[in-house]
Amino acid sequence: ATKFWILSNPEFLAEGTAMKDLDKPDRVLIGGQAEEAIGVLVDIYAHWVPRERILTTNLWSSELSKLVANAMLAQRVSSINSIARLCERTGADVGEVSRAIGTDTRIGPKFLNASIGFGGSCFQKDIL
């Protein structure tokens, strides 16, 4: 009899940099129950991704990690948009505030550009 295993391998590709993200991912996440199946997929990725960047979890942790990552990024965009409104009312410059808080190593500079909201193909569906 043929064995089948279900694995979760969510992608973390950003719009506009998908090919670069696929070639040099900051992490690969593989979730499942069958260690043998997980090992096979780890070995495939290990041809171009350093093993320390390949994370393995159970199936549900993998799926939830993808949704939580997108929810946190959407929250970050939403927060900087709220800060932008505060800047407009107080005379502060949101670009200067973003740069100042982005240099804090605990925060970092990504997703600190104020805009009309968050969008893209993932944030909307993953936070509902």
Q: What residues act catalytically?
A: 122
Residues in the chain: 128
How distant, in Å, are the alpha carbons of 8, 10, 59 from that of 55?
A: 12, 11, 12
Question: 103 near 85, Cβ under 8 Å?
Answer: no
Q: Alpha-carbon dihedral of residues 13, 83, 98, 27, nearest 10 degrees?
A: -20
Which residues touch 90 (CB under 8 Å, ≥6 apart)?
none
Look at residues 7, 54, 5, 50 and name the one whose alpha carbon lies nearest to residue 27: 54
